[in-house]
Amino acid sequence: MAEDRVEFDLDAAVQDVERLLNTASAAEALAYIAALHPADQAALVAELDPERRAPLLPRIPREALADILDYLEEEPRRAVVGELDPAVLGPLLDDVDRDVAVDVLRGLAPDRARTTLANMRSAAEVTPLLAFEDKSAGGRATSDFVALQRAWTVEQALGYLRSYKPSAEQVFYLYVIDDERRLGGVVSLRQLVVAGPERRIEELMTPEVVSVHPNEDQEEALRRVQHYNFVALPVVDEERHLVGVVSVDDLMDVAEEEATEDMYRMAGLAEDETLLRPIARSVAPRMSWLLLNLVTAFAAASIVNAFEGTIERAAALAVFMPIIAGMGGNAGIQTITLTVRSIALGEVDVRDALHIVRRELIIGVTNGVTIGLVLGMLAYLWKDNVGLGVVAGSAMLLNMTTAVTVGVLVPLTLRALKLDPALAAGVIVTTFTDVLGFFFFLGLATLMIDRIA
């Protein structure tokens, strides 16, 4: 019976390798690494201390190192590439997946990219992919795919597959092209196996192929693959030339990136921020976000300032200010998170605006009345002041209603303007709930100051 595959324990493997480096030899550490699955090798290499890793890298056989690059995540891959001798990198990139090679080249300084490309046998195949933008469908595409000629017979196609020896992943879909590399259809390997050897590929193929244009956004490729439940998508230019293929494992990374981007944008983080990045690169973007927030905070403060006289007469108002503003903010964040994510998942769009506003308003008013009553009652009991209870409760209801309205309308408006609905979502909604919350609360308090002070 086959060996049960033992679950890979990254922490233990890192310790093992470090122990071997300390007590045995680099050769033994390399033998240990070589026995692992390439995906596990990559995870291990990513975790190793750069000072211990750098001398090991040149001693890993080129094909194994290429596999490791294929599996490495972007951030550690950049670090590993940085530790490699430029003369080694070019030939190495010939052996990695075409889309990974393109990503690596794109991350290099222009000079180094040029030298590396000059050292690559596959430069001619990689260069056209380099022309596409990083986050476009073309930028995610690989040119490692199997294309069959439409005029071939099944036997010719199978013979081609036997000689070409593609990887299992490359033959999920077999794309059919004509003499000018124009995409004409798709067949599956199963169809070839089942069909008679004399049948022609063009008789078997499905002529309608869903594809993506190289300049379309990678998100568009993702959306299409998810919609049709494909595992790969051909990338086709205006003349339907097949320029590459995007595979589902790359698109899975896209899905994660897009979710991360939304979360980060809502919180005002740079979309490529990570806890692994050098501090110096993180300070400036976060600082500029906070400085922008400072401007909006002064907007809220100036409302309070306008009512300073009221607060002077009843300092107890200051106690309830953060409750009104904060609770409105919380309700608004709920609605805006839900709206941003629902747009991202394609569940709702601008056409649903009326329906969603109505829905959230009903929820906002229901919750606003309840929370307003509870707050009003507590304020009255705490401060033994009916006027304060009435003002706090009413301001709470008004602010919650504002919060859900803003929470729906801000992302939908950004979407209608073709901007990212997640853009600064958090700070926009809390600015509204702070400014209006203070205005409602202190404004009502000023009107009823004789009942409060």
**Residues between 43 and 82 with contacts to its own copies, criterion CB under 8 A:** 43, 70-71, 73, 75
How many Cα atoms are found within 13 Å in the side-chain-facing hemisphere of 376?
16
CB of 378 to its own copies, least distance (A): 7
- Smallest separation (angstroms) from its own copies to the CB of 302: 8
Sign of CA pseudo-dihedral 444, 446, 449, 453: positive
Name which of 294 and 447 has its Cβ closer to its own copies: 294
Strands (E), 67-173: 147-149
Of 92, 327, 406, 436, which lies in the binding site for its own copies, with binding defined by CB under 8 A?
Answer: 327
Touching its own copies, residues 266-305 (CB under 8 A):
266-269, 273-276, 279, 282-283, 286-287, 289-291, 293-294, 297-298, 300-302, 304-305
* Pairwise CA distance, residues 176 & 41, whole Å: 36
Does 228 bind its own copies (CB under 8 A)? Our answer is yes
Give the footprint of its own copies on residues 334-393 (CB under 8 A).
334, 337-339, 341-342, 345, 347-348, 351-352, 356, 359, 362-363, 366-367, 370-371, 374-375, 378
Q: How far is the CB of 1 from its own copies (least distance, A)?
A: 6
Site for its own copies in 80-139 (CB under 8 A): none
**Helix axis angle, 386-416 relative to 353-383, nearest 10°?**
160
Q: Are strands 147-149 and 174-177 parallel, antiparallel or unpaired?
A: parallel
Pick the stretch among 27-35, 120-128, 130-138, 309-317 that binds its own copies (CB under 8 A).
309-317
> Can you tell me the distance from the alpha carbon of 124 to that of 106, in angstroms, rounded to the nearest whole number?
15
Q: Where are the beta strands (DSSP E) in 248-406?
A: none
Q: 183, 209 in Cβ contact below 8 A?
A: yes
- Please say whether the beta carbons of 181 and 241 come within 8 A: yes
| Contacts to its own copies from residues 194-213, by CB under 8 A | 194, 207-211
Site string for its own copies, 413-452 (x = CB under 8 A): -------------xx--x---x---x--------------
Contact of 433 with 406, CB cutoff 8 Å: yes
196: Cβ contacts below 8 Å, ≥ 6 apart: 154
Task: Decide if residue 326 touches its own copies (CB under 8 A).
Answer: yes
List the x/- string, 141-160, binding to its own copies by CB under 8 A. Answer: -----------------x--
Residues in the chain: 453
Least distance to its own copies, CB of residue 113, Å: 25
